[in-house]
Structure 1
Amino acid sequence: MRLIPALSLITLSVAAAAGCGSSDDAEDPSPVGRTFVSVQVEGDPIPGGGPLVVGFGDSGQISVFAGCNRGTGAAELVDGVIDTTLATTMMACPPPLDGADAWVSQLFDGLPSWTLSGDTLTLATDSVTVTLRDKEIVEPDRPLTDTDWLVRSTISTQAVSTSVALEQAAPTLTIAGDGTVTGWTGCNEFTGRAQLSEDRRAVDFEPLAVTKRACPPGLDEVESSVLRVLGGRVQVVIDADELRLTRDDGYGLVLNAR
């Protein structure tokens, strides 16, 4: 396996995708369409502790992450082994996480064998055996409604970012099961209503009622960023305890369950 630097830190480009399957027998278990998280490593440990996260896309793609850079590429699952070439981001990571990428490279260079039993996936080479569990079992997605969400980052068309002002302001959002919206912009309280799509992958926020407290410099920018997103339709993506709300124009918020 070769690690190929991606052209962008934000977007990973893969030249081609290969078919993915453990066997010609359709009844054989397959990891395709699932994501797994390591729960045990026998042999060489993951620098920084991991965990190793491995996702298998429906179109023959694989994604990997062990604490530093993210990799993605085409994968073939044939003859009981994983054969893949990954494109990776090129972010500098502090010790000991800076060794995680080399660990991932060594694992997949070894053409690891794979076995799947229920929700448990095992990857093995001569030097390491990794036991992974289905991510939905290890880290189940939090429900969108009746969860208190805390804003951690803002999304613009250029980047995902945070700031000292945002961390100190700690904006919040709660959507009740009946569609009632309450929260805190970091400076003012707000209330309103929201309508969830049937699949809960989108939310339409009605105009919010916001208190009129004057915001000092810094907090006014935080409030503006929050309210920019919580107006109209936003797309919803939940991954474990993380919620992403994204507008069609690219602006959004990253929130975590409190």
Structure 2
Amino acid sequence: MYAAKADGKGKVKVFYPAMLEERRTRRILEMDLRHAVQDGCLELNFQPLFDAQTARLKSFEALVRWHHPMQGTIAPDQFIPLAEETGLIVALGDWVLREACAEAAQWPADIGIAVNVSALQVGHGEMLPVLVNTLAATGLDPSRLELEITESSLLALKPETVGFLRSVQELGVRVSIDDFGTGYSSMSSLQNFRFDKIKIDRSFVQAINGDAKSVAIIKSILELSSKIGVTTTAEGVETSAQLDYITANGCTEAQGFLFAKPMSKEAAREFIRQNA
């Protein structure tokens, strides 16, 4: 091991061989991800969302996947944070938006598409032109597109962010708040901006019939959503009991392994053919 000055005068940072190897691996992964984004070596999977009351197929959520040529499949919770930390998330997000809209444009007109958007994308000045150009290039009706923004990205809704989200809605695109209930900004986010949909985090849904506190939170979210006229999606629905509870309490949509796992674009087309 060796020591190096860091974090200011008089401070040292100790490096062990394992730490050096971790940094080297991270740099290599970053370069590989950069090439994957530039060369289009990523792919999208699609997970369906259903009407919780009628079980009718309503839309799909686009989920990016990375199959590394040497390391195999790399989990999103590994490369998405890396993309955010390095700024690659903007180019990655633009690619996902273009690919998702192009694919959805080939589906029946009543099937929508949801795309996740990071805080860095929202704060990037080119996001709105990219969105406008993507819709024009793909021919996708704006009403079929939904942008999902995680609650953690909204801890501080700046005026320019609110302005961007309103501009998105003026295009006819819907805006939803994802992983709702996991952060500290839940109520303030709803006060500062009129979202089209609330997606209840899977951690609450999966605790149904086991955690009274989570059940109470879900019920409160559904009651609030009904009062302010916002649709709701329960994420991570895996059992009939979970579905029965959210349905009985007025949840609008459901998503999870009980219905279907994420699938390739080819499988999604066949799924639509059988279920639309």
For normalisation by structure 2, the TM-score amounts to: 0.24
Q: Greater relative contact order: 1 or 2 (C-alpha under 8 angstroms, separation 6 or more)?
A: 2
Higher helix share: 2
Higher strand share: 1
For normalisation by structure 1, the TM-score amounts to: 0.25
